[in-house]
Chain A
């Protein structure tokens, strides 16, 4: 996916101005998800669950090499072939080799953000493989040739009318078709796709190191079909996705579903333990797991940003975020959007390529409260901002202004002088649109109106 994160300020403004329906759709959908998440958290001792999940993930990350080796051995015992990809190119080479070796013509895909990160769809198409996204939302945006705008609801930036029009044009469904009818039309087409495919590509929510179990959570059933119908199943898995013990799933399955959609459990939970056995009738002939690094090791070595690797991709932080609600995910210009994208992306692809993202937040803290693994997103946003300053990535005028500000604020006489000056300025000066900062303020708000006299003047005169 082309990295356009540095265009966030312009792009977010453009979406708000030119595509008001995006804000409407995203606001409605995320408020709904967030309300359900709150209700689902309230049913259990979610604070204790969150602390547990945080501790388990921290333990995995602190002992990652050990668990990766354990997972590899356990997966291979179950007959799964394990591959290692240092970066996107390596992952693409592994997938391309399998496609050629196995003569793959058609692929079905279960929803996976990692495949977006690795550009698997363009790769498959370049190899002449017909690719079908089988998650309904992913399928819709595949038809529109768009990337996902949300980790769990990839098409939440679209409204029903847009989807009706799209299906009408493509499949001839009526313009007033009910959502069920639209889903039925897609299902018919997707069903055919499952039967014809020789490759199923998925991600994984978790891989249990102890047992070598691939764990996938979903609501539509398409993941189970994608991973069991074609003769070949390839799972792309970030190296941070491990859980130590099978018993850890009891909390992680429910907590993830609660965080993502407010459900107690996903409608379908698949626990995949290798390819079809000789005495079994269903399942793929071969299962391959590609463990992908692609920047994760360097994030793990970062003494602040490593905490982002706890992420389980539930999108609870996106749903809770009033900033994300304004634009949806595309404006962020990278696979991972919203609060987690703003702190994860700089670690994965470099701060210089994602400069505006840590500023795409009012630091309200709603993301941290929602996060099932307690990633300190507000703190990490500040860390990245601080690094931008340290690395000289902030504008020169801003650096100068902040230096001057700090100087004035540590000299009481300078503060007094500034306070006097603020009152001597003609009113127009504060309403003007010449100074960039004031311009940005007054374009949407009334001009600043200082109190006629400052508090300190009133104090010095005496308060009765």
Chain B
């Protein structure tokens, strides 16, 4: 299967290793991965801040980069939501563009969602056996796209224990520019979310923005909480296959 990786600007700049893990993971599952080099940012910061003509410029750029791809896979729930839900919203009054971005939407997937829904795989290996993992559901993937079970299925399938986290689906307080426009509120939300965490080995999420914000807060407060992007954890899941007693 041919896949175009939209690595997203945050992963490109801040979680490059997660991008590498995504490539390795997809290849290990039989995909041919392309990285169209002209890709930049999906435009969500501009869209969320109300700058829709700027957001359209970026949407059109991204459309140009990925229009020919069979599948676009993103290691980010929020950026996937931008392509899937908000690009069509930006072209509500432009039928021609609406059709083009809708077509792109229908071919765009968040990484875990792609693995489960398109590739039909839920067992990557047993590389996470015994690990207690807290999964932070990014709000956009969860509530706009309904991606909830897919990442959990992959983590559990690899032997991880998904800890019972009362605030797992609660917003972490990142919200893009929200995090710097209303920093006190944003940090209060992070603290509230973190305060409900049980004992864990790893905190993970599909969203780079949430992770930057949460790990920044964790570091600042000196909390002993390891944070890893989902793509990196899923790659880890594929390791130690031999130890998988159920492996064929």
Contact = CB atoms under 8 A, between A and B. Distances in A.
A459 B43 contact: no
A412 B180 CA distance: 26
Contacts of A444: 183-184, 186-187, 216-217, 220
Contacts of B188: 16, 23, 326
Interface stretch (A69-77, A91-99, A182-190, A363-371): A363-371
Contacts of A394: 49-50
A428 interface: no
Interface stretch (B109-117, B118-126, B152-160, B170-178): B170-178
B180 A437 contact: yes
Contact of A455 (B12, B139, B142, B186): B12
B183 A441 contact: yes
Interface stretch (B14-22, B95-103, B237-245): B14-22
A171 interface: no
Interface in A292-338: 322-323, 325-327
B144 interface: yes
Contacts of B55: 406
A17 B188 CA distance: 10
A443 B180 CA distance: 10
Contact of A359 (B19, B20, B178, B219): B178
B41 to A, nearest CB: 5
A412 B38 contact: yes
Binding site secondary structure of chain A:
helix
A436 B86 CA distance: 28
Nearest to A444: B187
Contacts of B171: 322-323, 362, 364, 366
What class of interface size applies to chain A in its complex with B? 35 or more
Interface in B160-194: 170-171, 173-176, 178-189, 192-193
B49 A398 contact: yes
A227 interface: no
A440 B183 contact: yes
Nearest to B60: A410
Interface in A401-443: 402-403, 405-406, 408-410, 412, 415, 419, 422, 436-437, 440-441, 443
Contacts of A410: 40, 57-58, 60-61
Contacts of A27: 192
Contacts of A399: 51
Contact of B12 (A358, A389, A403, A456): A456
Given A16-B188, A323-B189, A406-B54, A362 B16 contact: no
Interface in A335-394: 358-366, 368-369, 379, 382, 384-389, 394
A422 B9 CA distance: 12
B139 A9 contact: no
A412 B13 CA distance: 14
A384 B49 CA distance: 10
Interface in B133-151: 139-140, 142-144
Contacts of B197: none
Contact of B220 (A362, A382, A446): A446
Given A12-B182, A322-B192, A445 B187 contact: yes
Contact of A382 (B50, B183, B189): B50
Query: Counting chain A CB atoms within 10 Å of each CB, which of B54, B139, B215 scores highest?
Result: B54
Contacts of B12: 419, 454-456
B16 A451 contact: yes
Given A402-B49, A415-B40, A446-B215, 13 more contacts: A326-B184, A326-B189, A360-B182, A363-B178, A366-B143, A394-B49, A405-B41, A441-B179, A441-B180, A447-B216, A450-B13, A451-B14, A458-B20
Interface of B: 7, 9, 11-17, 19-20, 23-24, 35, 37-41, 43, 45-52, 54-55, 57-58, 60-61, 89, 139-140, 142-144, 170-171, 173-176, 178-189, 192-193, 212-213, 215-217, 219-220
8 contacts: A13-B182, A13-B183, A17-B184, A362-B189, A385-B50, A394-B49, A406-B54, A440-B180
